[in-house]
Structure 1
Amino acid sequence: MPRRTSALLAAATAAALLAPATAYAHGGGQAPQLNGQRVGYFTQWGVYSGFSFKNVQTSGQAGKLTVINYAFGNVSAEGKCFEANEAGVGDAWADYQRPVGAEESVDGVADAEAQPLKGSFNQLRKLKAKNPQLKAVISLGGWTWSKYFSDAALTDASRKAFVASCLDLYVKGNLPQLGSAEGGPGSGLGVFDGIDIDWEYPGGDGDPGNVSRPEDGRNFTLLMAEFRRQLDELGKKSRKHYLLTAAVAANDKVADRLELPKVARSVDWLNLMTYDLHGPWEGKGPSNNQAPLFAVKGDPAPVQRSADKAVRHYIEKGLPARQTVVGVPFYSHTWTGVQPGPKGDGLFQPAAASGGDVPFKDLKNLPGTVHTDWRSGVSWKYDGNTFYTYDTPEVLTYKAAYSRLTGLGGVMAWALDHDDAQGTLVKALDKGMKY
């Protein structure tokens, strides 16, 4: 990938921000022509705070996305995909058992009592019907549910069994009934178009309770190859290409455990988690940017991290640019008790304490001054006490334009329920992806 300077990209993106939106065909069941991949995570637990797939439709997000990653599916101690109704283990109720009323339904039709598929899975299937360009994949693992990936990937037999269980459950749609009328053979067919692996992380450095082994990097390669083999085998029968993607760390140490040229042969693309580069786990600071596009001048961190650095590292190690998707946050990390500092903007200053995360839909209405460093592709809000590190809509457009200008595969966002009711952040990404 040619190395672009941040100054050139800033100028190009400024032009994109001022340019009128490019029109594309949409309506009448015809899929819009969207440039690149636009991946958005829908969280399983979001329905309990009032976010549903109807919101994805009414906000305009659905028409500007190519893939929804449904987060998450769990991996059992036996190395299998499964559904359950147990706190911290699984939520089949949210997935496919919860009756959805007409007011929350994507098409305005309430779930019937006897239908075998309800909940978010049924609404996702309805959302895809309204948006022909949109595909859905089940994301397996995540920070909390990556505990047994190492065991599932350990041997040829365990890999075959694990992959078969995931395809049977989610792609073939053979959902268990779990003591209710919902589920049954083929009940979830047509919901998912593939698999996303969110193993955090092969070889360790994830949640402290996760199983990890030195050979995880090699076994990750073999696991992805087995997923590709079984998905292609299934695809020959259904005459369909099933997606296979994975979320990977924006961390050189973790990236270097992966056999990227070999992994690239199996996956459609990798989603780089190029956010959470700084955050509340750093305690009393200094306040810093969680998702800089380029290195920030004056950053006091001992290791300079940025999305561009992570992208270049993955590509140098063998991941093709077109299979590299840049991750962006739809939320902020915060520090409190932050002094203004010499520039009065709170950046790189000691903090009294770390704060919680704030979704953009709430943050946009909070008091404070928004600061943007276009050369580095970062933004933050500071109110004289609290420092919020997040991406404004304009910075998201910048990052999407960066993806286009450097020939990358697209953008990925965590998570859709953090956007506002107007889909402002997804629309900002869409604008940059049209550049």
Structure 2
Amino acid sequence: MRRWGAAVVAGALSIGLSVAASPAGAHDHHGGGAVRTVGYYTQWSFADRGVPVRYLVENGTAAKLTHLNYAFGLLDEQGRCVSSDPVDDYQRLIPADQSVNGKADRPGQALAGNLNQLKQLKKKFPELRVYISLGGWTGSKYFSNAALTPQSRAEHVKSCIDLWLKGNLPGAPAGAAKGVFDGIDLDWEWPSTEGDVGNVVRPEDKQNFTKLLREYRAQLAKQGVRDRKVYDLTAFLPANREAMDRGYELAEVYKLLTFATVQGYDYHGTWEKTTNQQSAIRVPEGDPTTPKDSGEIVVDAHIERGAPRHKITLGVPYFGRGWTGVTNANNGLFQQSTGPAPATHEPGYDDYRALKNLLAGGKYRLHRDEKAGHAWLFDGATFWTYDDPTELKRKGKFIRDRRLGGAMIWSLDGDTPQGELIKGLHAGLHRR
């Protein structure tokens, strides 16, 4: 990995803290550069789903990623960064057969858990850049508090740098996790717009989000001088146009970010009674909803609001959304339902690696809209909208044809042991 010297970082600091390019230049799409492939690995992937970091090596994913976002770090009520689960993050001892380097963790070592596995992953794939992602749908409650005042912004960023970049983990030796993370990803869902129930929401969140990014840029640049490297700054941005306009000064936001990951899924789901696509490239014919949603519409909305194409990293799902009690007409598409479909972890939501098995039983049939670019499964009563390798290859080609910056995956634990989804996406992003 190419290192940036202190003089380079200081120079960037002196011209307004606009450190917007990643030091891993080949990972950012600038003109003829390679498209980026960003994957989210969740804190609970191992403990809850039996997917250790090693899984990403064994199924070929890690070799195809340019960036990995570890999700999630949280904020306390004062807006300071905290670990929501120290056991999973850095305390759990990983046995040899689930470890990236094949060696078992030992009691008393400085760093264990997921963070140590990410450190091993970086050693195996030295060009991979790893970020800590903050917030998420259920973890965005106190972002507004963090962004509220100059003092709260400064304290928030300082706490995040200390915990995640300097690696000063509570109960561990000083600097135990230093070097694990190359940047910070903000997943505030959503400024000035209510996301999960109970989130703190203020009208001034829109302007304060921009101010928070500026504070991050200032402190990250200073920390970069000390560490002789450049730390990246990214954010997850919405598909919903009302949320875009209410919560973001988008043109300025994009200037401050290394790149953005843009929501390319959850266009529809079981919060609606009518079955629909959740991640189509284009609006399917006959879609009864208003306003319409598709990858094409979302990308155009970001571009119209000032987003450079090379900084748009379009999200793709490794999961599906499902309804049951569906009217048996039109192969289940755009039909009324009685509620969410039964699923492995959460009603109406399941991983591709589970949904793939539905076809093996012979009850479900696969349907595909080649023009709109989406697929679904239907058995006469239960409907699942999902992306399979064919659709991910199509999405990769769409990203390449539109000259976007790359693809973002939510989330990596949804792929099969054979890495079927990452192979499909990679084939679309890279001409073959």
TM-score normalised over the length of structure 2: 0.88
Q: Is the 8 A contact 2:27 2:34 kept in 1?
A: no
Any conservation in 1 of the 2:259–2:311 contact (CA below 8 Å)?
yes
Give the counterpart of 2:293 among 298, 305, 320: 305
Q: Matches of 1:281 and 1:358 in 2, distance apart?
A: 15
- Alignment partner of 2:73: what SS? strand
Residue identity over aligned pairs, in percent, reads 45
The 2-side partners of 1:188 and 1:354 are apart by: 41
Which residue identity does 1:256 align to in structure 2?
D
In 2, Cα distance between equivalents of 1:225 and 1:294: 35
Match of 1:66 in 2: 66
Q: CA deviation at 1:32?
A: 10
Measure, in 1, the Cα distance between the counterparts of 2:213 and 2:74.
17
Find the counterpart in structure 1 of residue 413 from structure 2. 417
Tell me the residue number matched to 1:373. 369
Give the equivalent residue in structure 2 for 1:172: 166
Equivalent in the alignment of 1:387 = 383
Question: 1:383 offset after TM fit, Å?
Answer: 1.4
Kept in 1, the 8 Å contact 2:27–2:35? The answer is no
In 2, Cα distance between equivalents of 1:197 and 1:163: 11
| Residue in 2 that maps onto 1:45 | 44
Q: Which position in structure 2 is the counterpart of 1:109?
A: 103
User: How far apart are residue 386 of structure 1 and its match?
Assistant: 0.9
Aligned counterparts, 1:152-163, within 5 A: 152-163=146-157
Alignment partners' CA distance in 2, 1:308 and 1:372 = 18
Q: What is the one-letter code of the residue matched to 1:203? A: S
Counterpart in the other structure of 2:316: 328
The amino acid that maps onto 2:261 is: N
Q: CA deviation at 1:184?
A: 2.1
In structure 2, what is the Cα distance between the partners aligned to 1:232 and 1:404? 31
1:272 aligned onto 2:262: yes
- Which residue is 1:195 aligned to? 184
| 1:9 equivalent in structure 2 | none
SS at 1:136's partner residue? strand
* Structure 2 equivalent of residue 363 of structure 1: 355
- 8 Å Cα contact 1:32/1:63 also seen in 2: no
Give the whole-Å Cα distance in 1 for the aligned partners of 2:274 and 2:149: 44
Deviations 1:258-314 (A, max 9, x none): 1112112210111111211111111xx221001111111100112111111111111
Structural RMSD (CA): 1.4
Taking the aligned partners of 1:316 and 1:38, their CA distance within structure 2 comes to 24
Q: Does structure 1 conserve the Cα–Cα contact (< 8 Å) formed by 2:27 and 2:66? A: no
The 5 A counterparts of 1:22-101 are 35-48=34-47, 49-83=49-83, 90-101=84-95
Q: Is the 8 A contact 1:79 1:152 kept in 2?
A: yes
TM-score (norm 1): 0.87
Q: Secondary structure of the equivalent of 1:292?
A: coil
SS at match of 2:198: coil
Conserved 8 A contact 1:193-1:242 = yes
Count of aligned residue pairs for this structure pair: 390
In the alignment, structure 2 segments of 5+ residues that lack a partner are: 1-25, 342-346
Contact 1:111 1:118 in 2 (8 A): yes
* Cα distance per residue 1:299-344 (max 9 Å; x no partner): 0112111111111111111111111111111111101122331x4x
The farther-off stretch of 190-199 and 366-375 is 366-375
Alpha-carbon separation, structure 1, partners of 2:249 and 2:291: 24
**Alignment pair present for 1:205 and 2:194:** yes
